């Protein structure tokens, strides 16, 4: 059975990946901080889909958490989904520096280190995939969050280009996933008021995960789920940058 490790597997997009991959027959390594929630998720997935589930309690904003996750990646995986993430509450300078640094650790350092740890084994076996969860915020101007998510896209593209220069790496893929607004626990946890976001902009987490896995199989470098967001991404190339930057930096960014 192939094995996938999903970071942030207990809620939202990560939980959707876990359900989808389990239904596709993957054994799972589920990573997050909340042990009880991880164990409940693992049991439910095992009982529903008859796959093996392993839990890894780790905080990816800490040295110990990052080292434990790297060790599991080095032990061998068929798929890594770097999904764990969160938003900080507030505009730049209102957010404590320690929280911004923790965000960069989880969104960037963890993505870099786990990708670095997992790829040698995948190259040795000649197959494997890495999905790095970015965001449509990468295309907007949206504080440290958007800047980090832009790095995730450029990083994933860079790694994929370098892989293409290695013989025997054509079945190893690294893809960025850039969803728009998805109904998960993210916004409530970040204290964001989402009442002004129109219905048509909301995506379903299960559809996001299904689209990402299909795009990974097809070799798409950056997966953008949803026709509305594909259209917006195209439109943003035609509209002056100052307009898209202003809209992008404000939409969904009022805090309770």
Ligand X SMILES: NC(=O)c1ccc[n+]([C@@H]2O[C@H](COP(=O)([O-])OP(=O)(O)OC[C@H]3O[C@@H](n4cnc5c(N)ncnc54)[C@H](OP(=O)(O)O)[C@@H]3O)[C@@H](O)[C@H]2O)c1
- Closest approach, Cβ 186 to ligand X, in A, equals 3
Whether 145 is catalytic is yes
Q: Which of 5, 13, 130, 222 binds ligand X (CB under 6 A)?
A: 13
Token pair for 245? 């930057």
Interface with ligand X, residue 117, by CB under 6 A: no
- Closest to ligand X by CB, 52 vs 187, is 187
- Residue 254 makes CB contacts below 8 A (sequence gap 6+) with 192, 193, 196
Site for ligand X (CB under 6 A): which residue of 128, 129, 179, 226?
Answer: 179
* Residue 82 vs residues 60, 93, 121, 145, 240: alpha-carbon distances, Å: 11, 27, 17, 16, 32
Q: Is 132 in the site for ligand X (CB under 6 A)?
A: no
Q: Which stretch binds ligand X (CB under 6 A): 178-186, 213-221, 225-233, 236-244?
A: 178-186
Is residue 180 a contact partner of residue 229, using CB atoms and an 8 Å limit?
A: yes
Residue 59 touching ligand X (CB under 6 A) = yes
Applying the rule CB under 6 A, the residues between 85 and 114 that interact with ligand X are 85-86, 106
Q: Which is nearer to ligand X, 7 or 211 (CB)?
A: 7
Toward ligand X, which CB reaches closer, 84 or 169?
84
**Measured between alpha carbons, how far is 70 from 118 in angstroms, rounded to an integer?**
8
Please report, as residue ranges, which positions from 22 to 41 form the binding site for ligand X (by CB under 6 A). 32-34, 37
Q: In sequence order, which residues have a C-beta less than 8 Å from that of residue 180 and are 6 or more positions away? A: 135, 136, 201, 203, 225, 226, 228, 229, 232
Verify binding: residue 148, ligand X, rule CB under 6 A. no
Tokens representing 182?
A: 């998805």
Which residue, chain included where needed, has tokens 């060790």? 71
Size of the site for ligand X (CB under 6 A): 29
Of 9-17, 19-27, 72-80, 209-217, which part binds ligand X (CB under 6 A)? 9-17
Among 14, 252, 225, which residue's Cα sits nearest to residue 140?
Answer: 252
Phi and psi based region of residue 2 (left: phi greater than 0; alpha: psi -120 to 50; beta: remaining): beta
Between 7 and 236, whose beta carbon lies closer to ligand X?
7
Q: Which is nearer to ligand X, 27 or 59 (CB)?
A: 59
Instruction: Kindly give the residue spans of alpha helices, DSSP state H, lying in 75-185.
Output: 97-104, 110-125, 143-164
- Minimum CB separation of residue 189 from ligand X in Å reads 5
| Active site members | 145
Binding residues for ligand X (CB under 6 A): 7-14, 32-34, 37, 59-61, 83-86, 106, 133, 135, 179, 181-182, 184-186, 189
């Amino acid at each position: 059975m192939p094995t996938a490790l999903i970071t942030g597997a207990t809620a939202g997009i990560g939980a959707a990946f876990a359900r989808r991959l389990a239904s596709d027959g993957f054994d799972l390594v589920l990573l997050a901080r909340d042990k009880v929630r991880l164990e409940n998720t693992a049991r439910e997935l095992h009982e529903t889909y008859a796959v093996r589930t392993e839990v890894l309690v780790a905080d990816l904003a800490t040295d110990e958490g990052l080292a434990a996750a790297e060790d599991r990646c080095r032990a061998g995986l068929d798929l890594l989904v770097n999904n764990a993430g969160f938003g900080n509450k507030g505009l730049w300078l209102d957010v404590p520096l320690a929280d911004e640094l923790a965000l960069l650790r989880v969104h960037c350092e963890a993505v870099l280190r786990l990708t670095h740890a997992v790829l040698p084994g995948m190259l040795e076996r000649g197959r494997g995939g890495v999905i790095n969860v970015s965001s449509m915020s990468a295309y907007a101007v949206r504080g440290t969050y958007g800047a980090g998510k832009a790095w995730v896209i450029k990083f994933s593209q860079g790694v994929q280009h370098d892989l293409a220069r290695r013989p025997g790496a054509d079945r190893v893929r690294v893809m960025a996933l850039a969803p728009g607004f998805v109904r998960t626990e993210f916004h409530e946890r970040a204290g964001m008021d989402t009442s002004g976001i129109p219905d048509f902009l909301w995506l379903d987490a299960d559809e996001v995960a299904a689209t990402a896995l299909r795009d990974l199989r097809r070799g798409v470098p950056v997966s953008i789920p949803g026709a509305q967001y594909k259209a917006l991404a195209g439109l943003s190339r035609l509209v002056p940058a100052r307009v898209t930057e202003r809209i992008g930096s404000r939409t969904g960014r009022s805090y309770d």
